[in-house]
């Protein structure tokens, strides 16, 4: 599972980094679901 250790005390500085990490995890999850769909279809 994905573990997120984000510090929300500096949202102004790390906002963009947090967003990029979340988007990356989302894309990885989509690829994982896509390939598992291909495998078992």
Q: What is the pLDDT of residues 11-25, one digit of tens each?
A: 555 556 666 667 888
pLDDT > 70: what percent of the chain?
49
Residue 35 has pLDDT above 90, yes or no: yes
pLDDT of residue 16: 65
Tokens 């500096």 belong to: 10
The answer to whether the pTM exceeds 0.75 is no
> Cα 6 vs. chain centroid, distance in angstroms?
12
What's the rounded mean pLDDT across residues 22-39?
90
- Domain borders along the chain are 11-40
Give the C-alpha separation, 38 to 41, whole Å: 5
């Amino acid at each position: 599972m994905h573990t997120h250790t984000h510090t929300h005390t500096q949202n102004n500085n790390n906002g963009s980094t947090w967003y990029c990490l979340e988007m990356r995890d989302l894309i990885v999850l989509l690829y994982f679901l896509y390939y598992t769909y291909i495998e078992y279809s």
